[in-house]
Amino acid sequence: MAWTNEDVARQFAEIAALLTLRGEDAFRVRAYERAAAAVGAAPRDLAGLSADEMTAIKGIGASTAKRIVEYLTTGRIAMLEDLRAQVPAGVLELTRIPGLGPKTALLLHDQLGISTVEELRAALDAGSLRGLKGLGAKTEDNLRQSLGRMGAKDTDRVPVADAVALADELCDRLARLPQVRRVTWAGSLRRMRETIGDLDLLAAADDPAPVMAALRDADLVDRILVAGEKKTSVVLRRGIQADLRVVEPDAWGAALVYFTGSKAHNIRIRERAVRKGLTLNEYGLWEVQDPDAAAEAAPVRVAGSTEADVYAALGLQPVPAPLREDAGEVEAAAEGRLPAVVTLADLRGDLHGHSDWSGDGKASLEDMVAAAAARGLEYWAVTDHAEDLTINGLTRDDMRARRRAIAELQDRYAIRILDGAELNIGVGGGVDYDLDFLLDFDFCVASVHTLFNRPREEQTARILAAMEHPAVNVIGHPTGRKIGRRPGYDIDVDAVVAAAVRTGTAVEVNASPQRLDLSGDHVRRAVDAGALLTISSDAHSVGDLASLRYGVATAQRGWATPGGVLNCLPLDGLLEVVNAKRGPGHRRVT
Mean pLDDT of 419-446: 97
Interaxial angle between packed helices 3-21 and 78-86, expressed in degrees from 0 to 180 and rounded to the nearest 10? 40
Pick 514 or 46 by higher pLDDT: 514
Determine the pLDDT at residue 154.
47
Range from 127-136, 168-177, 193-202, 332-341 carrying the lowest mean pLDDT:
127-136
| Number of Cβ within a 10 Å radius of residue 273 | 19
* φ and ψ at residue 234, rounded to 5 degrees: -135, 160
Question: 283-292, 459-468, 492-501, 530-539: which range is least confident on average?
Answer: 283-292
pLDDT in tens, 345-401: 999 999 999 999 998 888 999 999 999 999 999 999 999 999 998 888 999 999 999
> How far is 273 from 267, CA to CA, in rounded Å?
10
Query: What is the pLDDT at residue 109?
Result: 83
How many angstroms separate the CA atoms of 10 and 159, rounded? Answer: 12
Distance CA 513, CA 527 (A): 21
Please, where in the chain does CATH 3.30.460.10 lie? Answer: 158-247
Q: What gap in Å lies between CA 303 and CA 315, rounded to an integer?
A: 12
Residues of each domain in the chain carrying CATH 3.20.20.140: 344-582
For range 208-224, the mean pLDDT: 93
Q: Comparing 45-49, 392-396, 555-559, which segment has the lowest mean pLDDT?
A: 45-49
Residue 180: strand pairing partners: 205
pTM: 0.83
Evaluate whether 59 touches 46 at the Cβ level (below 8 Å). no
In sequence order, the 6+-apart residues with CB closer than 8 A to the CB of 7 are 238
Most confident of 33-47, 139-153, 238-252, 296-310: 238-252
Instruction: Please give the Cα distance from 443 to 352 (Å, whole number).
Output: 9
DSSP state of 554: H
Q: Do 436 and 460 contact (CB within 8 A), yes or no?
A: no
- Distance between CA atoms of 368 and 406, rounded to whole angstroms? 12
Right CATH number for 344-582 from 3.20.20.140, 3.40.50.150, 3.40.47.40, 3.30.465.10?
Answer: 3.20.20.140
Tens of pLDDT, residues 424-433? 999 999 999 9
Q: CATH number of the domain at 158-247, out of 3.30.70.2660, 3.40.720.10, 1.10.760.10, 3.30.460.10?
A: 3.30.460.10
The CATH architecture assigned to 261-334 reads 2-Layer Sandwich (3.30)
Q: Which residues, including other chains, have CB under 8 Å from residue 123's CB and lie 6 or more apart?
A: 108, 112, 114, 129
DSSP for 192-260, written as a single string: T-SEESSEEEEEEES-HHHHHHHHHT-TTEEEEEEE-SSEEEEEETTS-EEEEEEE-GGGHHHHHHHHH
pLDDT at 459: 96
User: What would the mean pLDDT of 314-343 be, rounded to a whole number?
Assistant: 97
Burial of 464 (0-12, 13-18, 19+ CB in 10 A): buried
Q: Where in the chain is the domain with CATH 1.10.150.110?
A: 3-154
User: Which CATH number is associated with domain 3-154?
Assistant: 1.10.150.110
* Run of H or E residues at 188: helix 187-190
- Strand pairing report for 241-247 and 195-196: unpaired
113 or 255: which carries more pLDDT confidence? 255
Angstrom distance (rounded) from CA 276 to CA 8:
52
Task: State how far Cα 49 lies from the chain centre.
Answer: 27
Torsion region of 423: left, alpha or beta (phi above 0 gives left; psi -120 to 50 gives alpha): beta
Lowest model confidence (mean pLDDT) among 41-45, 128-132, 141-145, 254-258:
41-45
| Exposure letters 428-449 (e unless 16+ CB within 10 A, then b) | ebebbbeeeebbbbbbbbbbbb
pLDDT at 3: 61
Domain(s) labelled CATH 3.30.210.10 in the chain stretch across 261-334
What whole-number distance in Å separates Cα of residue 447 and Cα of residue 425? 6
3 state DSSP class of 379: strand
Kindly tell me the burial class for residue 162, based on how many C-beta atoms sit within 10 Å of its own C-beta (0-12, 13-18, 19 or more): buried
